[in-house]
């Protein structure tokens, strides 16, 4: 299912392979049949201990239940502003972030509740931020799109499409410059790769050998525009070759496939200080945001992908390999629902930010006249 390109390729080799790969383009990983995917996941499970596997399932479940609750609270008017849900994509953030350290960095887009939770932020602080409360991770001033917690290396939450890509490149540069062995994971959607900043960043990362892992979450849509309508080269992983980076297509519905591919990339970054581009093929089950009427795709298309639900797949694998019983996983679900319910109570009962907070944590240039017209 995955295809790798080594860093060491000479440019003529790389050109030859790129041309061949365009012709032999593989079917999207997200299209693989449920049975084929299950067989692959069962093969991957070998060698992983039970504790790690249950933790991965717990984290995916936490994100799923957290977001279902967020949708409910949003509909009740408890959450304001934009709210982009991640349901369907859980295997990507959870699989990738499971192989990095607390002192490594993660940057992503506005669809970031999962990444924040996976990096170690509490459900309380993320939910309170959604509610715009003073106890939220950004003191209630950021909301859904601007989660941040320096203590766990979660550097946002970025609303400008592709805006986090050069920032992550800079963070990786800083780690290298300071001589640490930290790595940076930079997540973004497939629509962001059409931005100039993506290309500038990949070029610099390979030229300067930066420990940055670029993770493109290809969910096949940028708002209501499908990848087919927006991209001349649909095989995003090939874009790595333009800059001689290692590149790989990954099945984004299989948490273990994402984990393995990220492990390879992290080793490359940590030991050799080299970047990687992972194209992780996934699908979002919900609208672009809570206000998306969704009239650009059919219900049948969504249902087709829901058969490949990463949580359903992992549940089946855990049960069929006798790693866990159905009862055990149902009990875990109960505990997760309670943890999420607790975060809602915490957010509900937390105070609103003090009006004086309007003047803190803002960037303003005091040299610019207050009479300036913007
Ligand atoms: C520079 C910029 N252009 C346009 C937008 C409006 N916009 C917000 S999300 C989005 C689509 C991005 O899609 P993708 O990168 O695939 O991420 P996904 O939403 O699928 O996770 C657009 C065009 C923006 N926020 N920033
Ligand atoms: Mg997208």
> Residue 11: is its pLDDT beyond 90?
no
Q: Is residue 6 part of a domain?
A: no
Confidence band (pLDDT; 50, 70, 90) for 341?
A: very high
Nearest ligand to the CA atom of 86: 1
CA-angle at 287, arms to 313 and 81, nearest 5°: 125
* Least confident window among 18-32, 41-55, 163-177: 18-32
Q: What is the per-residue burial (b if ≥16 Cβ within 10 Å, else e) of 59-68?
A: bbbbbbbbbe
Confidence band (pLDDT; 50, 70, 90) for 35?
A: confident
Q: Is residue 94 part of a domain?
A: yes
CB-count exposure of residue 49 (10 Å: 0-12, 13-18, 19+): exposed
> Residue 25: is its pLDDT beyond 60?
no
- Give the Cα separation of 268 and 265 in Å (integer): 5
Q: Does ligand 1 come within 6 angstroms of the Cβ of 223?
A: yes
Q: Is residue 146 part of a domain?
A: yes
Quote the pTM value: 0.91
- Give the Cα separation of 365 and 67 in Å (integer): 37
| Domain carrying residue 83 | 30-350
Q: Is residue 4 part of a domain?
A: no
pLDDT tens-digit series, residues 232-243: 998 999 999 999
Dihedral, 226, 299, 80, 84 alpha carbons, nearest 10: -40
Confidence band (pLDDT; 50, 70, 90) for 36?
A: confident
Q: Is residue 41 part of a domain?
A: yes
Residue whose Cα lies nearest atom 21 of ligand 1: it is: 189
Q: Which long-range contacts (CB under 8 A, 24 or more apart) does 299-304 make?
A: none
Question: Which among 222, 247, 246 has a CA at the least distance from the CA of 237?
Answer: 247
* Least confident window among 37-41, 53-57, 123-127, 213-217: 37-41
Domain count, the chain: 1
Question: Which among 161, 206, 190, 321 has a CA at the least distance from the CA of 252?
Answer: 190
279 close to 249: Cβ distance less than 8 angstroms: yes
Tell me how far the alpha carbon of residue 308 lies from the centroid of ligand 2, in angstroms: 18
Residue whose Cα lies nearest atom 3 of ligand 1: it is: 161
- Give the Cα separation of 282 and 91 in Å (integer): 9
Q: What residue has token string 């592709």?
A: 162
Q: Is residue 373 part of a domain?
A: no
Q: Is residue 19 part of a domain?
A: no
pLDDT of residue 26: 52
- Give the Cα separation of 117 and 131 in Å (integer): 16
Q: Does ligand 1 come within 6 angstroms of the Cβ of 161?
A: yes
Q: Is residue 357 part of a domain?
A: no
- Give the Cα separation of 361 and 235 in Å (integer): 41
- Average pLDDT, integer, range 246-273: 97
Looking up residue 293, the CATH number of its domain turns out to be 3.40.50.970
CB-count exposure of residue 4 (10 Å: 0-12, 13-18, 19+): middle
Residue whose Cα lies nearest atom 19 of ligand 1: it is: 222
Measured from the Cα of 192, ligand 1's closest atom is 15
Tell me how far the alpha carbon of residue 285 lies from the centroid of ligand 2, in angstroms: 12
Q: Which stretches of the chain are assigned E, i.e. beta strand?
A: 4-5, 105-109, 154-158, 184-189, 212-218, 221-222, 225-226, 246-251, 276-281
- Average pLDDT, integer, range 365-371: 59
Tell me how far the alpha carbon of residue 109 lies from the centroid of ligand 1, in angstroms: 9
Confidence band (pLDDT; 50, 70, 90) for 5?
A: very low
| Strand 184-189 relative to strand 105-109, pairing | parallel
Any bridge partners for residue 108, and if so which? 157
Nearest ligand to the CA atom of 110: 1
CA-angle at 314, arms to 311 and 318, nearest 5°: 135
Tell me how far the alpha carbon of residue 281 lies from the centroid of ligand 2, in angstroms: 10
Measured from the Cα of 160, ligand 1's closest atom is 26
pLDDT of residue 358: 87
């Amino acid at each position: 299912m995955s295809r790798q390109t080594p860093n060491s390729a000479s440019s003529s080799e790389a050109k030859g392979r790129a041309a061949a790969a365009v012709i032999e383009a593989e079917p999207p990983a997200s299209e693989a049949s449920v049975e084929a995917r299950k067989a692959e996941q069962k093969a991957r499970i070998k060698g992983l201990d039970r504790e790690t596997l249950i933790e991965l399932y717990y984290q995916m479940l936490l994100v799923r239940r957290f977001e279902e609750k967020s949708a409910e609270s949003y509909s009740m008017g408890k959450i304001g502003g934009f709210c982009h849900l991640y349901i369907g994509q859980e295997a990507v953030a959870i699989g990738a972030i499971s192989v990095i350290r607390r002192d490594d960095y993660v940057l992503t887009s506005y669809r970031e509740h999962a990444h924040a939770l996976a990096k170690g932020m509490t459900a309380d602080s993320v939910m309170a931020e959604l509610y715009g409360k003073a106890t939220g991770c950004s003191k209630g001033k950021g909301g859904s799109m601007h989660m941040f917690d320096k203590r766990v290396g979660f550097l946002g939450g970025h609303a400008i499409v592709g805006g986090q890509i050069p920032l992550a490149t800079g963070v990786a540069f800083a780690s290298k410059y300071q001589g640490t062995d930290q790595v940076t994971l930079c997540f973004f959607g497939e629509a962001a790769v059409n931005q100039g900043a993506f290309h500038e960043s990949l070029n610099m990362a390979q030229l300067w050998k930066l420990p940055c892992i670029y993770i493109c979450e290809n969910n096949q849509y940028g708002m209501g525009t499908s990848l087919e309508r927006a991209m001349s080269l649909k095989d995003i992983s090939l874009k790595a070759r333009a800059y001689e980076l290692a590149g790989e297509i990954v099945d984004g519905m299989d948490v273990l496939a994402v984990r393995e591919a990220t492990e390879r990339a992290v080793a490359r970054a940590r030991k050799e200080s080299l970047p990687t581009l992972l194209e992780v093929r996934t699908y979002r089950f919900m609208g672009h945001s809570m206000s998306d009427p969704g009239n650009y795709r059919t219900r049948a298309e969504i249902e087709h992908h829901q058969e490949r639900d990463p949580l359903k797949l992992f549940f089946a694998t855990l049960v069929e390999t006798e790693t866990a019983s159905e009862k055990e996983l149902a009990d875990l679900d109960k505990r997760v629902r309670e943890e999420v319910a607790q975060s809602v109570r915490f957010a509900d009962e937390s105070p609103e930010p003090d009006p004086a907070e309007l003047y803190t944590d803002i960037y303003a240039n005091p040299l610019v006249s207050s009479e300036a017209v913007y």
